[in-house]
Amino acid sequence: MTGSASTPSPTVGGLQSPVIPRDAHNPWYQRPAEPLEGDALLQVDAWWRAANYLSVGQIYLLDNPLLEQPLSRDDVKPRLLGHWGTTPGLNFVYAHLNRMIRQRSLPTLYIAGPGHGGPGMVANAWLDGTYSEIYSKIDQSTDGMRALFRQFSFPGGIPSHAAPETPGSINEGGELGYSLSHAYGAAFDNPNLLVAAVIGDGEAETGPLATAWHSNKFIDPMQDGVVLPILHLNGYKIANPSVLARIPEDDLLALMRGYGHNPHIVSGGFDGEDPLLVHARMAETLDTVLNEIAAIKQDAADGTLEGTPRWPMIILRTPKGWTCPVEIDGLPVENTWRAHQVPLASARDTEAHTRLLESWMKKYKPEELFDSAGRPTPFVTGLAPEGYLRMSATPYSNGGLLRRELRMPDFREYGVDVTAPGHETAEATKVLGGWLADVIRLNPDNFRIFGPDETASNRLQEVYTATDKQWNAEILPVDLNLARAGRVMEMLSEHQCQGWLEGYLLTGRHGLFNCYEAFIHIVDSMFNQHAKWLQVARSIPWRRSVSSLNYLLSSHVWRQDHNGFSHQDPGFIDHVVNKKADVVRVYLPVDANTLLSTYDHCLRSVDYINVVVAGKQPGPQWLSMPEAVAHCTRGLGIWDWAGTERPSDEPDIVLACAGDIPTIETLAAASLLRKHLPELRVRVVNVIDLMRLQDETEHPHGLSNRDFDTIFTTDKPIVFAYHGYPWLIHRLTYRRAANANLHVRGFIENGTTTTPFDMLMLNNLDRYHLVIDAIDRVPGLGSKAAALRQEMQDARMRARQYTREHGEDIPEVAQWLWSGEDGVGFDRQNYSARDEVGADQTGGDNT
């Protein structure tokens, strides 16, 4: 029933995993350009008209989809929603890519960057048959077309922009700016994939998009696919002209050359120019561009490529809202911002306006495009590629179909040998780096690490024993670990890291994003959109699971004493917790072994966003590998070796902790209490999986109240030392009996230059204050406790004074050793940040 009818079209809805033969054929070849003319030209135009007709229909019509009756007011939707302005351009590109794909059998992923282009993307998917295969009620019939129109931006229907519901899409058309980063993420490690990224001229003004052009310096012509940016200048945003449409053409061309591209301009459709002429120019340009790409690919294969290839790109200038009424009520509409949204908002208001809508739609000549049963004619559907080559059906847009499980080295073999708590010192992320190096070795083509120039600073440098940083600009002899191809992607743009990774994951691969904790807020909004995407995708049967998006936030708030206030912000966790519990997970491993266990879990998981905050500094190792695995599996638990309660007794107080630094301080406080108030029964609880604190009805990881009460008690005071803003703990435990007894210490906005321990003191999260907190909360402790309280206050004063004088922490803190009953301990001499600058001077700090 479509252009792909001749071959059995494996249904996307059926969820069969297609086999994509990576080397089946080389789709990159030069072919003589032939002018688009005759029936071939008319066919492209017919597709475009059909897509435009279907787009207008979605925005306006409730009924009478084929206009078989004169259009009446009641056929028009009462709420007119959607955006026409960008749609004809999106449809134009779609039609031309179809022609190209049919010629070259080139797997192509279409990224619709411009905002709210939903009607166009849906129209094309319906025309090529994919939509009906997935959504059987929206079949290629008059009824199907009616349902197609009705559901658009309608209660219980589909959104007005490309979204998870849209076949062929991996890029939301809601928040703008990420299309090009997504496109590059999709292209990495897909050497035979073309990613056609249509970029709106509004979107092009955003920061993330403006830097994403430089992604072309990170593409390896051998190993990666090709991104073809198509900058669609229709001149206007919501209410303003766009910048790139109003600069001199020389500047525009210079800008694109400056970005490293070879720009080609296609311009047309203005002042009533016949679209057929524009089709011919676009086809010629697309042929030229594909041949240019093929030449680069060939040179790369031949080893004759020198320097960074100058990839082509297309600048497409067409009128905003092209083909809509030129004027409405005496005001120019086509080719103005007035065509941005619903150009004829009054379509129900007067008979004349209803007639205008009808004549607009009839201009596309629906009778030539659809038969009387509402099916697109074979002439139209003949332009569609076959099967999975249809852009709406490409498995690259439903990455779970292509996703291969990671081959995972056994993380247990990479751990730190911990014979007793606090014996050994290790840098958690550095240990993780050793394991990640082997993850990379075992998965050379579907796992990448992304970071804004911080992978070494975050101590993952051992990955460079297995791979390099991919870099396709100039490489000098002095450079280390740079190569044309590599698994580590570093650019000083958190937006790019996030966008690349999202594109990589949504096309079926695996990865992680390592970043400073404070600056991950730069992508708060991208996180929002990805979380919303995952949430919606879970409810769409044909969308297969994709790998989780994994953050590794090292260089966290408690290690930013020296970088100062601007680098101190643990609020990303709070931001994350606002999203639907189904899709977010937050982990705070306390040492190398718990970090390994946590990350093994994260890399295996699907459809989540996992936030892992972990230390990069040398620190005490608390748990052996079996203990770490058990503790991570539980997510939280009592560390009985650290407390002083006797079996079968209830404790007098619970010292709880979450985060590596709070855990150290809590254990130090516990050991002070053990020494000075041995009769006080102290329970130490450590929390790795923050979501365990929530009620089981609120989060799938939530602990049952019974288990929670057993661990935290229902009536004993709890002093909780937490990594981030303290009130989040209250929020998570809101429904717990223990909440009323909870006293949380965490980060509060202060802002001064300090040493590490001084920073803890500023936040009352230091060991001495935790002891004071405990004393203040257990009633009837007597004079011994009062004396200890005073001693703790003196100790704080002493410690503060020392830092002011010497510029570093007081030795009793800096060299503090954990000692349990057996008196063993570890040397925390590296507590200070000094070692950050590293012996090899490469593990530098931030930006």
Q: Among residue numbers 146 through 165, which ones bind a second copy (CB under 8 A)?
A: 150, 153-161, 163
- Closer to a second copy by CB, 281 or 538: give it: 538
406 binds a second copy per the rule CB under 8 A: no
Q: Which is nearer to a second copy, 352 or 839 (CB)?
A: 839
Residue span binding a second copy (CB under 8 A) among the ranges 140-148, 421-429, 475-483, 640-648:
475-483
Rounded Cα gap, residues 266 and 256, in angstroms: 14
490 binds a second copy (CB under 8 A): yes
Report, in Å, the least distance between residue 500 CB and a second copy: 13
Least distance (Å) between residue 327 CB and a second copy: 11
Q: Give residues 202-261 in contact with a second copy (rule: CB under 8 A).
A: 202-203, 205-214, 217, 237-243, 246-248, 250-260
Q: Which among 165, 231, 160, 722 is positioned nearest to 397, based on CA atoms?
A: 165
CB of 360 to a second copy, least distance (A): 14
Binding mask 6-35 for a second copy (x = CB under 8 A): ------------------------------
357 binds a second copy (CB under 8 A): no
C-beta closer to a second copy: residue 263 or 374: 263
User: Given candidates 105, 465, 710, 842, which one binds a second copy under the rule CB under 8 A?
Assistant: 842
What's the min distance (Å) between Cβ of 402 and a second copy? 25
- For residues 271 and 318, give the distance between their C-alpha atoms in angstroms, rounded to a whole number: 10
Q: Applying CB under 8 A, does 519 fall inside the site for a second copy? A: yes
Extract the tokens encoding 697.
């009805």
* Residue 4 CB-half CA count within 13 A: 26
Query: CA-CA distances (angstroms) from residue 27 to 100, 187, 305, 312, 776?
Result: 11, 15, 19, 17, 73
Please tell me the distance from the alpha carbon of residue 789 to that of residue 775, in angstroms, as a whole number: 7
Q: 341 or 594: whose CB is closer to a second copy?
A: 341
**Site track 113-142 with a second copy (rule: CB under 8 A), x = hit:** --xx--------------------------
Which residues neighbour 90 within 8 Å (Cβ) at sequence distance 6 or greater?
112, 114, 117, 120, 121, 198, 232
Smallest distance from a second copy to CB 24, Å: 35
State residue 121 phi and psi, 5-degree precision. Answer: -65, -40
Dihedral of alpha carbons 835, 840, 841, 843, sign: negative
Give φ, ψ of 112 to 5 degrees. -95, 100
| Least distance (Å) between residue 644 CB and a second copy | 31
- Is residue 352 at the binding interface for a second copy, with CB under 8 A as the rule? no
Within 8 A by CB and 6+ apart from 84, the residues are 55, 56, 59, 119, 321, 324, 339, 340, 341, 342, 343
Q: Which of 352/478 has CB closer to a second copy?
A: 478
Q: Are 575 and 524 in contact (CB under 8 A)?
A: yes
Q: Could you say which residues in the range 808-827 bind a second copy, by CB under 8 A? A: 808
List, in order, residues 6 or more apart from 740 with CB less than 8 Å away.
Answer: none
CB of 776 to a second copy, least distance (A): 17
| Shortest distance (Å) from residue 519 CB to a second copy | 6
Q: Rounded to the nearest whole angstrom, what is the least distance from the CB of residue 710 to a second copy in the complex?
A: 24
Q: Which C-beta is closer to a second copy: that of 322 or that of 388?
A: 322
User: Using CA atoms, how far apart are residues 197 and 188, in angstroms rounded to an integer?
Assistant: 14
CB of 126 to a second copy, least distance (A): 18
- List the one residue out of 111, 287, 251 whose CA is nearest residue 184: 111
Give the C-alpha distances (Å, rounded to integers) separating 596 from 413, 586, 656.
10, 15, 22
Nearer CB in complex with a second copy: 150/676: 150
Number of residues that bind a second copy (CB under 8 A): 152
- Considering only residues 680 through 739, tell me which ones interact with a second copy, judged by CB under 8 A: 725, 727, 730-731, 734
DSSP label at residue 157: S
State the nearest-atom distance from the C-beta of 79 to a second copy, in Å: 5
The residues facing 380 across adjacent strands are none
Q: Work out how close the CB of 170 gets to a second copy at its nearest, in angstroms, rounded to a whole number.
A: 14
Query: Using an 8 Å Cβ cutoff, are 201 and 158 in contact?
Result: no
For the CB of residue 733, give the shortest distance to a second copy in the complex, in Å. 11
Using the rule CB under 8 A, which residue among 23, 38, 478, 821 binds a second copy?
Answer: 478
Q: Which of residues 67-106 bind a second copy (CB under 8 A)?
A: 77-81, 83
Nearer to a second copy, 153 or 686 (CB): 153
Name the residue nearer to a second copy (CB basis): 206 or 819: 206
Least CB distance to a second copy at residue 665 (A): 18
- DSSP codes of every residue in 82-108: S--TTHHHHHHHHHHHHHHHHHH---E
Binding mask 738-767 for a second copy (x = CB under 8 A): -----------x-xxxxx--x---------
**Binding flag, residue 492, a second copy (CB under 8 A):** yes
**Segment 538 to 597, residues that bind a second copy, using CB under 8 A:** 562-567, 569, 571, 574-575, 578-580
Binding-residue pattern over the window 178 to 207 for a second copy, x denoting contact by CB under 8 A:
------------------------xx-xxx
- Start-to-end CA distance of the chain, whole Å, equals 57
The span from the CA of 243 to the CA of 265, in Å, is 17
- Its sign, for the CA torsion 383, 389, 394, 396, is negative
What does DSSP assign to residue 766? Answer: S
Instruction: In whole angstroms, give the CA distance from residue 289 to residue 276.
Output: 20
* CA–CA gap between residue 750 and residue 561 (Å, rounded): 11
Alpha carbons within 13 angstroms on the beta-carbon side of residue 82 total 35
C-alpha pair distances (Å), 28 with each of 31, 194, 216, 300, 787: 10, 10, 18, 11, 80
Candidates 14-22, 389-397, 526-534, 663-671: pick the segment binding a second copy (CB under 8 A).
Answer: 526-534
Helices (H), 607-717: 625-634, 660-676, 705-712
Q: Does 417 bind a second copy (CB under 8 A)?
A: no
Q: Supply the DSSP symbol for 554.
A: E
Closer of 190 and 755 to a second copy (Cβ): 755
Of residues 320 and 631, the one with the C-beta less far from a second copy: 320
- Residue 597 CB, shortest distance to a second copy, in Å, is 28
- Per CB under 8 A, 56 contacts a second copy: no
Contact range with a second copy by CB under 8 A, out of 285-293, 350-358, 373-381, 838-846: 838-846
* Residue among 439 and 456 whose Cβ is closer to a second copy: 456
- Return the residues of window 285-344 that contact a second copy according to CB under 8 A: 307-308, 328, 331-333, 335-338, 340-343
Pick the stretch among 417-425, 470-478, 601-609, 713-721 that binds a second copy (CB under 8 A). Answer: 470-478
- The verdict on 806 binding a second copy (CB under 8 A) reads yes
DSSP for residue 618:
E
Choose between 492 and 797: whose C-beta lies nearer to a second copy. Answer: 492
Nearest CB to a second copy, comparing residues 97 and 728: 728
Q: Measured from the CB of residue 782, what is the shortest distance to a second copy in angstroms?
A: 29
Closest to a second copy by CB, 560 vs 621, is 560
Inter-CA distances, 377 with 10, 67, 836, Å: 22, 17, 67
Q: Cβ closer to a second copy: 260 or 376?
A: 260
Q: Which residues contact residue 779 at a Cβ distance below 8 angstroms, ignoring those fewer than 6 apart?
A: none
Q: What token pair was written down for 380? A: 């139209």
| Number of residues that make up the chain | 847
Question: By CB under 8 A, is residue 496 in contact with a second copy?
Answer: yes
393, two tokens: 């059906």
